[in-house]
Amino acid sequence: MAACQVHLAVKANIGSSHGGSIHTIRAVAVPPDKQRVAMPAVSTSIPSSVQSQLVLMRHGESMWNDLKLFTGDVDIPLTEKGVNEALAGGRAVSEIDFDIVFTSRLVRAKQTALIAMTQNKFKRVPVLVRGGFYGKGKTGDANRIRLRDAAAKALETASCRMVPIYADPALNERCYGDLQGLNKTAAIAEFGEETVTKWRRSYDTRPPNGESLQDTYARSVGFFTATIEPRLKEGRNVFLVAHGNVLRCLISHLGGYSDLEMLRLQIMTAMPYAYTYNGNDFAECCILPPRDDENHVLDNMPLGISSVLKKGELDSLI
């Protein structure tokens, strides 16, 4: 445990003086509906030799977050507050040398990743690689292919340090279907309070033309295990910027949380959640507190991932 604490103090510029907490992932029984997605081994102790780091971050505040509307997979940009949150979150992880960045296809996640990387002390220049990690997408579009080729060449030949950003729809926010664009009051007026509550607070119920949290879990965790975990096994440090429900799924997957615990996770905007990985096991390390423009830790920030497991109200609006 001490070895990991020293490592994080060097890599993330945090420690006990800033209220950082370090603890291992706890084992929780996995429901049968989640067992189809391979779970990583659960660590009972923090390894003395850390090979790679994983940081998860929700995007900064979007314009529909500000208006308290169901956003889902509608492509809405950041507010000015969201930009400042992305800068603060970037400063929190500025001493981690990221080798690869993953985001959703939605602009608010891409904006957050790009803005956060401007604060990185290793001065890697982020480059968006068209077509995602596997080069799929509109392969018939000659301009997209040219842009992908240009990004690939830049990654290999540029006279500055670069870091690729790969966007994938598997990391998009949960689709709220017919709720998207409505606020809570309007949704209740149209569909009824009991129905809206069930859509929002259940694990396996879909709103009309939308996804359940279970659907989001299957695609986001499936992408994580197939694409991101192998990069960590290669010893790469990974920065993943996505959305509230996607991070609920990934944090629950890594921690073995129950469905109810997943629903109670309140994922703050632009708050980095850090893990270490030794090639086999993930260890939950801490939340890295966002910092202001003078590099001071912002006030009233939670101290560890366990502190965002709220035991009462399940009323977050993503």
Count of domains observed in the chain: 1
Active-site residue, 234 included: no
Q: What letter represents residue 43's amino acid?
A: S
For residue 295, what pLDDT band results from cuts at 50, 70 and 90? Answer: low
Q: Is residue 82 part of a domain?
A: yes
Query: How many Å apart are CA 108 and CA 124, to the nearest integer?
Result: 21
CA distances from 50 to 122, 170, 236, 291 (A): 20, 28, 11, 25
- The DSSP code sequence of 100-169 is EEEE-SSHHHHHHHHHHHTT-TT-PEEEE-TTTTTT-S-TT-HHHHHHHHHHHHHHHH-SS-EEEEEE-G
Residue 3 has pLDDT above 70, yes or no: no
Please, which pLDDT band fits residue 30 given cuts at 50, 70 and 90? Answer: very low
281 sits in which H/E element: strand 281-287
Q: Residue 182 falls within a domain, yes or no?
A: no
% of the chain beyond a pLDDT of 90: 58
CA-based torsion, 290, 294, 297, 299: positive or negative: negative
Confidence bin at 294 (pLDDT 50/70/90): confident
pLDDT at site 171: 98
- Active-site position among 7, 18, 59, 243: 59
**Which tokens belong to 50?**
């850390």
Residue 38 has pLDDT above 80, yes or no: no
Q: Which of 154-158, 172-176, 287-291 has the highest mean pLDDT?
A: 172-176
Model pLDDT for residues 119-166, shown as the tens digit of each residue = 999 999 999 998 899 886 556 678 888 888 999 899 999 999 999 999
Q: Cα 69 to the chain's mean position, in Å?
A: 20
Write the pLDDT tens digit of every residue in 86-114.
999 999 999 999 999 999 999 999 999 99
Tell me the binding residues for substrate: 58-65, 71-72, 108, 173-176, 184, 200-201, 244-245
φ/ψ (deg, to 5) at 145: -65, -45
Query: Which of 88, 56, 59 has its CA nearest to residue 75?
Result: 59
- pLDDT tier at 286, thresholds 50, 70, 90: low
In a domain, 317, yes or no: no
Structure pTM?
A: 0.79
HEC per residue, 219-269: HHHHHHHHHHHHHHHCCCCEEEEECHHHHHHHHHHHHCCCHHHHHHECCCC
- Would you place residue 7 in the very low, low, confident or very high pLDDT band (cuts 50, 70, 90)? very low
Is 292 within a domain? yes
H/E stretch holding 284 reads strand 281-287
Give, to the nearest 10 degrees, the angle between helix 184-191 and helix 193-201.
Answer: 120
- Which of 39-43, 50-54, 195-199 is modeled with the greatest confidence? 195-199
Q: Is residue 86 part of a domain?
A: yes
For the chain, the average pLDDT equals 80
> Is there a catalytic annotation at residue 173?
yes
Tens-place pLDDT, residues 230-240: 999 999 999 99
Is the pLDDT assigned to residue 60 strictly greater than 50?
Answer: yes
Q: Is residue 258 part of a domain?
A: yes
The pair of three-digit structure tokens given for residue 274, joined into one six-digit string: 């850090």
178-206: pLDDT as tens digits: 999 999 899 999 999 999 999 988 999 99
- Residue 221 belongs to a domain with what CATH number? 3.40.50.1240
| Within-domain flag for 218 | yes
Q: Which residues are annotated as a binding site?
A: 58-65, 71-72, 108, 173-176, 184, 200-201, 244-245
Tell whether 205 is covered by a domain: no
- From the candidates 7, 18, 173, 284, which is the catalytic residue? 173
What domain range is 98 assigned to? Answer: 2-128+159-175+211-298
Read off the pLDDT of residues 233-274 as tens digits, 9 standing for 90 and up: 999 999 999 999 999 999 999 988 999 889 888 899 999 999
